[in-house]
Amino acid sequence: MALFDFHQTYLNILSQTSQKRQLHKCTGSSFSSNDYLGLANSPEILSAAQQAIDETIPIGSGGSRLLSGNHPQHEALETEAAIFFKAQSTLYFANGYAANMAVLSTLPQKGDVIFYDNLIHASSHDGMRLARCKAQLFIHNDVQDLKAKITAWRAKNPDGNIWIIFETYYSMDGDIAPIDALSDLASDYDAIMVIDEAHAFGVFGPDGRGLAAHLDGCDNAIILRTCGKALGCEGALLCLPSIARDFLINRARQFIFSTAPSPLIAYTVRIALRIIQTQPERRKALIELCDYAGKILSPLGAITHGGPIIPIIIGDAKHTMDIASALQNSGFDVRGIRPPTVAEGSSRLRICISLNIDKTDIDALALMLRKLL
């Protein structure tokens, strides 16, 4: 048996089922970026990065936060973010994937239980695989299904913490969770919520603080905000009770054994936080553009919930990727999403609206979609 025979066979199967992935350059009108507010390449962020360099803020941290890598920029970011989000404390991670894994593999303990929405991100699934307790899914956005499962579990398990995992704004469907109903249920059962605001932060809520902003500071809420989407930077901020922060610093392997994020990037995140507070016109312009896109694309089968993520369900994986390829060849950076990222039979075009495009780009995309669909 030759080296990597298994891997080659697996890749061949992926090719035959139109599931083999490849890296593609981003060209043409951007309809795949999560840079919702157009900050990633903005003069303000570029200027902030240059200022950081001029002030000799280092690019590399030189070690983990617990060794040599804890920089004043990390601490300044966490202090400012806690004030901005009205949180007890915050903890900065290199990315949202590591943050989600750290929370779910570290905080729930033996005898606890995790209930998770069946459309949560892969990082949460990977965190739960390392968790010390069992996990059960509940039907997407179905509070009654969750309540029934919590009630049944608690009847047999009088002790142990209940953890509820959900996103506020889902990255593939663009729909919004019943946040208040889930929060009320968590209060009724003394449950702890782990809330992923990755795609809502910067877009929705007061000062762009997200759809769950009113839950910041609660003893039973841990809220993730990524910095690589609407903020246009990199990393992730966990907003959480101080005791949970201290426990993660002491026990989360993803934090302890990882080189600390770049101090220079931490500085640019601080600037980005200030921008979303002082430039509400960016969010206003984005929502107006999302509303326009919804009106133009809905007749073509697009599903819209008033936010920047607008899917068009095609169904077949090969057909989806063929359409995506045709769009890319025509100057539209639209990506196809297929299993295992989404369920079988629900392959889709995932259209993302950001301030990197305008109404003219949306009109042109609609015209091309009419031809292809």
- Which residues are known to be catalytic? 34, 121, 167, 171, 196, 199, 229
Closest CA to 328 of 286, 357, 369: 369
Provide the token pair at 111: 């005898």
| 221-226: strand order across its sheet | 89-93, 236-240, 221-226, 192-196, 162-167, 113-117, 134-138
- Select from 307, 2, 252 the least CA-distant residue to 108: 252
Structure tokens at 162: 């209940």
Q: Are 334 and 33 in contact (CB under 8 A)?
A: no
Whether the bond between 340 and the residue before it is cis, its omega within 30 degrees of 0, is yes
**Cβ atoms of residues 168 and 196 within 8 Å:** yes
| Burial class for 80, CB neighbours closer than 10 Å (0-12, 13-18, 19+) | middle
Read off the amino acid at residue 14.
Answer: L
Cα 355 to chain center, whole Å?
18
What the block records as the tokens of 280 is 């509400």
